[in-house]
Amino acid sequence: MSDPTPRIPLLQRWPDAFVARYRAAGHWRGETFPGFLRERASRCAHSIAVVGGDTRWTYAQLWTEAERIAAGLLAQGLAPGDRVVVQLGNVPEFIAVVSALFRAQLVPVYALPAHRLTEVAHFARKAEACAYVCAERYEAFDYRALARQLQAEVPAMRHVFVVGDAAEFVSIAALDGARDALPGDPDPQSVAFLQISGGSTGLSKLIPRTHDDYIYSFRASNDLCGIGADSVYMVALPAAHNFPMSSPGFFGALYAGARVVLSPGPGPDAAFPLVARERVTCVGLVPPLALLWADAAGKTAFDLSSLQVLQVGGAKLVPEAARRVVAGLGCRLQQVFGMAEGLVNYTRLDDPDELVLTTQGRPISDDDEVLVVDDHGAPVADGEIGHLLTRGPYTIRGYHNDDAANTRSFTDDGFYRTGDMVQRLPSGHLIVQGRATDHINRAGEKISAEEIEDHLLAHPQVFDAAVVSIPDDFLGERSCAFVIPGDTTPRPAELKAWVRGRGLAAFKVPDQIVFVDAFGTTAVGKISRRELRAQLRARFLDEQKDAG
């Protein structure tokens, strides 16, 4: 059978010389998702692969489920190469469904459970997807209602598959089909899935990851995070995030033949009983959750002594918070500074404490090229702050179907402009010092200021709006919208309800709304939105200091 899976367009592929180099180095081994999952199903057939809710699947059972669903999807009329938006929470079916998509050479597009119609419709259009997989209900939200709206808005979305009661749609549990209709394994260089970007400017972009590049990233992560067949890895953050997916994530754990435990929520209440019962050895958290866990650990009756490595990433963990986390949980801390576009940095498990507490780690690979440059692109000396640019064996060379973003976000020679400002130490460890783009990092969820401003501007009583990040003791950053009202001033609650009503994830609703008469008092002539946001933020923080 010819290979139907999407290839990355020529301009955004790794050039041949890099392909040769990454292969010669043994990073890209020609492995594929269905290939390794099938192999584990035979080698680790009776080991427990996935635990969640009442389900405990062995590796053999997971593969059987994946093949059943894969065959069923093809029997329903999907064809290899089709894109499928997957919006599932931390349930075993998440892993079975994506394994099935890989098996059938269908391409998952990962939405978070928090995403709502506007976002899911955007992913569907951008990916030209024809199918949507959702849960009947997750965290009290009925996704079948969203599916109906989605089909009305995106006619190309022909198929809806539901985990749980499917109503008029097709139930995942009922799928079945001929196994001999399943395709062979895909080209390792083809696109395995599309991941969602944090969305630093405007709407989220889609990130094409190949089998070769992604498998390398979690195989290499396993070594650096101490994951082996005896490990028990907990998914506490939403499973669709890159961090719990691949750093080392549940895919790393499955690659190692380890056990994956899905926690229904990220907080101590949901997670601690499972840590104790399953003897969890490794978990990844964002900084506010790590602090919650550390505080709760001193008071809980649950036995957390199995925890060996607590990973913290997604947002900056300041040294003082790092000390509290270590004191509270008593296990090894590992800082993780990564991005869905590729590059992931880890502090090493045997790094001196000082580096673990004060840096965000160093790249996975010797072939990760890291540049720290000034505003004009000239390299800065070690220890100085500059823009982080990177390219390497698991960092994309371009977004899916987005020429404008590609021109902005990649240099001519293929470096990704991360938007992060960092300091590099002579050891190669990076310290994240802020960022050059205007997004809000709200407890690890990235919110584009521009996207929220656009939604606020659509309100009839908003004359102008600027959204900025404000430091927050718990979240790290919260969002604050400065709004110049129109003829009458709406109530803040009304504006928040407006943003939510536009079909957006709840985490994007501004935490705070401040009405102002005008913007940019010190500005002469036209200033950029970036400068404007910076001025508003500075003025607000000054006023708070004076008031406090």
Residues that bind ligand OOB (CB under 6 A): 198, 242-243, 247, 313-316, 335-340, 344, 360, 418, 420, 432, 435, 441, 444, 446
Q: Which is nearer to ligand OOB, 446 or 455 (CB)?
A: 446
| Alpha-carbon span 449 to 435, nearest angstrom | 13
| Alpha-carbon span 317 to 509, nearest angstrom | 24
298-336 as b/e, with b when 16 or more CB fall inside 10 Å?
A: eeeeeebeebbbbbbbbbbbeeebbebbbebbebbbbbb
User: What is each CA distance from 98 to 104, 174, 482, in whole angstroms?
Assistant: 10, 17, 41
Contact 42, 69 (CB under 8 A): no
Contact 255, 215 (CB under 8 A): yes
In the complex, what is the shortest distance from the CB of residue 85 to ligand OOB, in angstroms, rounded to a whole number?
18
In the complex, what is the shortest distance from the CB of residue 253 to ligand OOB, in angstroms, rounded to a whole number?
15
Q: Which is nearer to ligand OOB, 185 or 420 (CB)?
A: 420
Q: Could you tell me the two tokens for 448?
A: 């584009």
Q: Which residues pair with 76 in a beta bridge?
A: none
In the complex, what is the shortest distance from the CB of residue 183 to ligand OOB, in angstroms, rounded to a whole number?
30
Give the residue nearest to ligand OOB (CB): 338
Q: Which is nearer to ligand OOB, 12 or 55 (CB)?
A: 12
Q: Which is nearer to ligand OOB, 61 or 210 (CB)?
A: 210
Token match 């002579």: residue? 426
Q: Which is nearer to ligand OOB, 61 or 448 (CB)?
A: 448
Query: DSSP 3-state assignment of 123?
Result: helix
In the complex, what is the shortest distance from the CB of residue 141 to ligand OOB, in angstroms, rounded to a whole number?
22
Q: For residue 541, which phi and psi values (nearest 5 degrees)?
A: -65, -35
Contact 394, 202 (CB under 8 A): no
Token match 């928040």: residue? 496
Kindly report whether the peptide bond that precedes residue 248 is cis, defined as omega within 30 degrees of 0.
yes
Q: Which residues pair with 261 in a beta bridge?
A: 51, 234
Helix ranges restricted to H, 55-206: 59-75, 92-103, 117-127, 143-153
In the complex, what is the shortest distance from the CB of residue 252 to ligand OOB, in angstroms, rounded to a whole number?
11
In the complex, what is the shortest distance from the CB of residue 341 to ligand OOB, in angstroms, rounded to a whole number?
7
In the complex, what is the shortest distance from the CB of residue 446 to ligand OOB, in angstroms, rounded to a whole number?
5
Q: Which is nearer to ligand OOB, 282 or 336 (CB)?
A: 336
In the complex, what is the shortest distance from the CB of residue 169 to ligand OOB, in angstroms, rounded to a whole number?
30
Q: Which is nearer to ligand OOB, 278 or 420 (CB)?
A: 420
Q: Which is nearer to ligand OOB, 439 or 502 (CB)?
A: 439
